[in-house]
Amino acid sequence: MTLLLLFAWLQTGPTVEPGTFHNCPVIGDATGLRTQALNRLKNRATVPTVIDPTATLEAVDTYFHDDRARFKESTGAEWTGYVVHVASGAKETVNCHSGDPQYEDTHIEMSVSPTGARPHTVVTEVTARWRAAMKAQGVDWSTAALEKLKGKRVTIRGWLMLDLEHVSQSENTHSPGSPANWRQSAWELHPAVSITVVQ
């Protein structure tokens, strides 16, 4: 049962609800065009068919001056590394400011090292849509279940996405060493589409 809870990739793949989900459209409740476009990417309901072999965890979790144009949001990536922090994303425009944990995204911070710490971590996110789809397949992607991944080595596959909301909080796109920085890069795997425990 433990492996079933933590292993989240089935050959047949889950059916993820496109369009409006739990009365929230793909643009969320954002009013600005830039945030609406970002929310569309965050709420993708498909699996990436192209995986960028250069967008490894090691590549993203390393200083690379202004990496905003380094990858493409039309491709996916697969990261293998250690989970160092898991938390709910709380109320966000992408989920129409829902305060219900099952309709909030879960933020998973990863590092190439088991002792990795902010700001040298990168982010992948489990979205409410994918959580619901995995639940329908008997796999628990709740924040509480995902917290059990802390300290484990995992492989996560998902869509590459540059989270413009965090450009000023990332080592690669903000002054390195700034106290405002809590992550290495604004690039994320968002949404995550599979999670496999390696160790």
Largest CA distance in the chain: 45
CATH H-level, domain 2-197: superfamily: Nucleic acid-binding proteins (2.40.50.140)
Average pLDDT over residues 20-27: 96
Q: Where are the domains of the chain?
A: 2-197
* Upper half-sphere CA count for residue 77 (Cβ side, 13 Å): 26
What pTM, to 2 d.p., does this model score? Answer: 0.92
Average pLDDT over all residues of the chain? 93
pLDDT band at 4 (very low <50, low <70, confident <90, very high): very low
Each residue's pLDDT tens digit, 151-161:
999 999 999 99
Tokens at 158, concatenated: 């998902």
Instruction: Answer whether 145's CB lies under 8 Å from 2's CB.
Output: no
Query: Does 7 score more than 50 pLDDT?
Result: no
For 157, list phi and psi in degrees, rounded to 5: -115, 145
